Amino acid sequence: MFPKNTIIVEDRGYFDFTLMLNRITAINTFVTRIKTNTVYETLEELELPEGKNEHIVKDEIIQLTSVKAKECGISEHKLRLVHVYKEDENKVIEIITNQLEWDALTISELYKKRWDIELFFKAIKQNLQIKTFVGTSENAVKSQIYIAITTFLLLELIRRTVAKKAPAFSNFVAKIRMCLCFYLSLDYVCNTMREGAKRIRQPSQGKLKFNGDFYSGNQQLSLYA
């Protein structure tokens, strides 16, 4: 459960009639993708502005009519279904929400931003070791998440303002982590230290040579230049 007027943007894995009804009861706005086998009835098709938002294919008010929808009570509520064309994937995605008043473009952009948020938390989990927690209470978990987010923002700020080039975030974090124990300026770490490991070249001191039969027991190991 979330506080009143919370906007919840979630992927299709959270598409559930009971959960959607709970969002409506809590006066929350949910934005998610509808499942392809969902049964619904179109109550009204909204007009689309001419010459604007041409990637919005259709905008309609619907009512879920399946047996499960009627059993849980979600069928009694009007919902919004926005059909959006994704040019990069050449397909139409259908976004369902309980928000009936906002512009269709707003609904589309909200769901589009969900992927950016997912990438944001993916970067945090991969680079800041937040998969496991020192404490498991609500306060401890929130504190560690806030610390990770603050660390991420500080590192991203340094990467964008101090670094003359734009290194990959994962490489940049690894470099900062290795330099924490040394008294180095940020300018030196970001712009002077080069990324990547180099092979150590050993001086040619000679070659190993086996004399005799290796299996004879009389072999000798000699070193010659």
37-47 confidence digits (pLDDT tens): 999 999 999 98
What is the mean pLDDT of the segment spanning 110-122? 85
Answer with the one of 38, 69, 104 that is the final residue of a domain: 104
- Are both 98 and 19 inside the same structural domain? yes
Q: Which residue type, as a one-letter code, is found at position 138?
A: E
Q: What is the pLDDT of residue 199?
A: 63
- Residue whose structure tokens are 């039969």: 213
Determine what percent of the chain is predicted with pLDDT higher than 70: 86
Residue 135 falls within a domain, yes or no? yes
With 0-12 CB in 10 A as exposed, 13-18 as middle and 19+ as buried, what is 114? middle
- Does residue 80 surpass a pLDDT of 80? yes
What is the mean pLDDT of the segment spanning 169-197? 82
The dihedral region occupied by 73, where left means phi > 0, alpha psi between -120 and 50, and beta the remainder, is: left
Gap between the Cα atoms of 67 and 46, Å rounded:
26
Answer with the one of 37, 70, 104 that is the final residue of a domain: 104
- Are both 12 and 90 inside the same structural domain? yes
- Are both 36 and 94 inside the same structural domain? yes
Q: Coil, strand or helix: which one is 192?
A: helix
Greater confidence, 187 or 79?
Answer: 79
Residue 93 falls within a domain, yes or no? yes
Determine what percent of the chain is predicted with pLDDT higher than 90: 40
What is the mean pLDDT of the segment spanning 155-167? 86
Q: Could you tell me if 105 and 53 are in contact, meaning their C-beta atoms sit under 8 angstroms apart? A: yes
CB atoms within 10 A of CB 83: 17
Q: What is the pLDDT of residue 74?
A: 94
Q: Sorting pLDDT into bands at 50, 70 and 90, what band is 22? A: very high
What is the mean pLDDT of the segment spanning 172-187? 86
Greater confidence, 206 or 8?
Answer: 8
Number of structural domains the chain divides into? 2
- Are both 92 and 156 inside the same structural domain? no
Q: Sorting pLDDT into bands at 50, 70 and 90, what band is 134? A: confident
- Are both 132 and 65 inside the same structural domain? no
Answer with the one of 65, 89, 104 that is the final residue of a domain: 104
Q: What is the pLDDT of residue 214?
A: 46
- Are both 94 and 167 inside the same structural domain? no
What is the mean pLDDT of the segment spanning 158-162? 89
Residue 119 falls within a domain, yes or no? no
pTM of the full structure:
0.64
pLDDT tens per residue, range 56-65: 999 999 999 9
Domain that holds residue 76: 7-104
Tokens representing residue 169 in the block: 């975030």
Greater confidence, 135 or 91?
Answer: 91
- Are both 75 and 133 inside the same structural domain? no
- Does residue 224 surpass a pLDDT of 80? no
Gap between the Cα atoms of 225 and 220, Å rounded:
16
Give the DSSP H/E element, type plus range, for residue 21. Answer: helix 17-25
Q: What is the pLDDT of residue 101?
A: 93
Give the DSSP H/E element, type plus range, for residue 119. Answer: helix 104-127
With 0-12 CB in 10 A as exposed, 13-18 as middle and 19+ as buried, what is 104? buried
Q: What is the pLDDT of residue 164?
A: 85
